């Protein structure tokens, strides 16, 4: 098996949801361990980030932002597609409609990610009071209708139960997802969930394995580095993850913080780790500076 590496460009941490999600350390003002200060990346910053990613031999990038940033995200996609050959995933949660999906498709986007996080409606409404499960589900359906690849994942360890996780996997199967991020909760300080313990790695590994066994036609099982950390990457791959996300080259030109935790994967540190376990990646190594 060849493990894919997906990098990241965070276009903006502004999010127009009035009440932020209880676990969010990404949105402006949510956690001093996150970005905290509000930003929208310029075209030039996006271009420099994309070129550093491609120059390091990485082939795919996630372009993401909070709610209310569609014009900046579309511009970022156009910049990345105009300046590099990177494959692009866009993640702006449930903040998309049919017309916007068509614009992303026309700009060359391959995959759109809309995580449901949990199918437990009571839990969803408590942790994401200004978000909408039904809207997110609708966006997932529209992504498939638009002929784009759908990424949609689970956030584990936020208070969901075994039955919620089973129902979630069944729902993902019915949506014919192309990619499933399996994310373990990690608390960001100063957020409403700062005292909730992180999801056990064993839970994350078990769900990766269950997704792999249940969703046999799903092309990517993704483990975002910030939700698993260095100690969890190799076990995640051994249990069935074939895409490690939120990995940047060490010369990445922008400040970057993970969405699930501030930590991100550094390509030049991860590659020797994969090598030591005999795990191949899709990174074009001859592009890496000596």
Q: Which of 20, 41, 60, 220 is close enough to bind ligand SF4 by CB under 6 A?
A: 20
Q: How many CB atoms lie within 10 A of CB 34?
A: 23
Q: Which is nearer to ligand SF4, 27 or 49 (CB)?
A: 27
Quick note: the x/- pattern for ligand SF4 over 125-164, rule CB under 6 A, is: ------x---------------------------------
Burial of 237 from C-beta contacts in 10 A (0-12 / 13-18 / 19+): buried
Which region among 17-25, 139-147, 199-207, 281-289 touches ligand SF4 (by CB under 6 A)?
17-25
Least Å from the CB of residue 25 to ligand SF4: 8
> Could you tell me if 76 and 9 are in contact, meaning their C-beta atoms sit under 8 angstroms apart?
yes
Confirm or reject binding of residue 24 to ligand SF4 (CB under 6 A): yes
Q: Which of 9, 10, 31, 66 is close enough to bind ligand SF4 by CB under 6 A?
A: 66
Which region among 20-28, 40-48, 70-78, 81-89 touches ligand SF4 (by CB under 6 A)?
20-28
Distance CA 191, CA 184 (A): 16
Q: Which of 27, 76, 156, 223 is close enough to bind ligand SF4 by CB under 6 A?
A: 27
CA-nearest of 268, 221, 210, 213 to 245 is 221
Q: Which of 17, 146, 196, 279 is close enough to bind ligand SF4 by CB under 6 A?
A: 17
222: alpha, beta or left? (left if phi > 0; alpha if psi -120 to 50): beta
> Any idea of the CA torsion for 112, 193, 9, 7, to the nearest 10 degrees?
-80
> Could you tell me if 23 and 285 are in contact, meaning their C-beta atoms sit under 8 angstroms apart?
no
265: phi then psi, degrees, rounded to nearest 5:
-80, 140
Q: How many residues bind ligand SF4 (CB under 6 A)?
A: 11
Confirm or reject binding of residue 165 to ligand SF4 (CB under 6 A): no
Binding site for ligand SF4 (CB under 6 A): 15, 17, 20-21, 24, 26-27, 66-67, 93, 131
């Amino acid at each position: 098996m060849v493990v894919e590496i997906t990098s990241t460009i965070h276009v903006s941490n502004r999010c127009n949801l009035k009440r932020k999600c209880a676990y969010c350390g990404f949105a402006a003002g949510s956690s001093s361990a996150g970005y905290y200060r509000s930003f929208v990346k310029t075209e030039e910053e996006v271009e420099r980030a994309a070129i550093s990613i491609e120059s390091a031999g990485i082939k795919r990038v996630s372009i993401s932002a909070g709610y209310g940033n569609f014009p900046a995200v579309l511009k970022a996609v156009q910049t990345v597609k105009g300046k590099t050959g990177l494959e692009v995933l866009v993640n702006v949660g449930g903040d998309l409609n049919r017309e916007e999906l068509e614009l992303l498709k026309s700009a060359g986007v391959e995959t759109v990610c809309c995580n449901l996080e949990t199918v437990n409606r009571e839990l969803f409404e408590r942790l994401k009071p200004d978000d909408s499960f039904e809207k997110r589900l609708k966006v997932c359906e529209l992504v498939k209708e638009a002929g784009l690849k759908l990424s949609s994942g689970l956030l584990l360890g936020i208070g969901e139960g075994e039955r919620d996780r089973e129902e979630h996997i069944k729902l993902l199967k019915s949506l014919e997802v192309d990619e499933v991020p399996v994310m373990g909760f990690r608390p960001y300080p100063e957020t409403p969930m700062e005292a909730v313990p992180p999801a056990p790695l064993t839970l994350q590994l078990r769900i990766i394995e269950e997704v792999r066994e249940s969703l046999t036609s799903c092309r990517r099982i993704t483990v975002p580095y910030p939700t698993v950390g260095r100690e969890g990457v190799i076990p995640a791959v051994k249990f069935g993850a074939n895409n490690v996300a939120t990995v940047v080259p060490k010369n990445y030109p922008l400040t970057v913080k993970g969405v699930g935790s501030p930590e991100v994967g550094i390509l030049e540190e991860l590659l020797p780790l994969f090598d030591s376990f005999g795990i191949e990646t899709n990174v074009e190594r001859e592009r890496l500076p000596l």
